[in-house]
A and B are shown apart, each in its own frame.
Chain A
Amino acid sequence: GAVVSQHPSRVICKSGTSVKIECRSLDFQATTMFWYRQFPKQSLMLMATSNEGSKATYEQGVEKDKFLINHASLTLSTLTVTSAHPEDSSFYICSARDRLGQGTYGYTFGSGTRLTVV
């Protein structure tokens, strides 16, 4: 079945530094990638949607200059948290969709990245 590999699973970084999170689709072409953020005991909040080769579409309230999304290939999308601050500490999850909507009705989730900014 469809698999999305997300790395790193956990990262601790210093305030002011940048962190890159990668999501790779291993056996399908991810034409669309959704990036979510989840704070403790809360649900998934969509941050942005990216289509391969296009600029990402950000949800209202999400700073596009702070959360840089690159989706340059059909198998790799990255989220870079720039100038991270403690309030950016969260669980970040990607979800990939291919043109045919394979996987569990078209949405294959990565395993998530726990970001802690100290």
Chain B
Amino acid sequence: GQNIDQPTEMTATEGAIVQINCTYQTSGFNGLFWYQQHAGEAPTFLSYNVLDGLEEKGRFSSFLSRSKGYSYLLLKELQMKDSASYLCAVRDEGGAAGNKLTFGGGTRVLVKP
């Protein structure tokens, strides 16, 4: 099975940096995704990590350590529009499991002026 944990809520100030952690214990691993989701909308893809290390994409970066079952999403130069939920999702290894994505509970980030 999959167990994915992330904080429920975080608050940060506009222009600041916020780091959202995600830890996972899974029976199989074939990559970790981060999505942004605004209320009432579908998730939007942010990043994908399958190898250890840091992936940088503009203001967003994501880090993965497979040995520690740990990832984080780093949001820099926060903007008001970054207020949203951020979902960590782990992909299993496929086969009978079908390459499913299992989502963590999501972290609601509130950016204050």
Contact = CB atoms under 8 A, between A and B. Distances in A.
Contacts of A67: none
Contact of A44 (B31, B43, B45, B99): B43
B42 to A, nearest CB: 4
A49 interface: yes
Interface in B79-113: 87, 98-106, 108
Interface string B10-43: 0000000000000000000001010000001111
B60 interface: no
- State the majority secondary structure of interface residues on A: strand
Nearest to B97: A49
Contacts of B41: 111-112
Nearest to B44: A109
Given A43-B104, A46-B101, A105 B33 contact: yes
Interface stretch (A12-20, A69-77, A80-88, A91-99): A91-99
B40 A91 contact: yes
A25 interface: no
B31 A32 contact: no
Nearest to B2: A46
Contacts of B40: 91, 112, 114
B48 interface: yes
A99 to B, nearest CB: 11
Contacts of B108: 41
Among B31, B42, B48, B104, max chain A CB count under 10 A is at: B42
Interface of A: 6, 32, 34, 36, 41-46, 49, 51, 57, 91, 93, 95, 97, 104-107, 109-112, 114
Which 7 pairs between the two chains have the least Cβ-Cβ distance? Answer: A104-B45, A109-B42, A43-B106, A43-B103, A44-B103, A43-B105, A112-B42
10 contacts: A34-B100, A34-B101, A43-B87, A44-B43, A44-B103, A46-B101, A57-B98, A107-B33, A107-B45, A110-B42
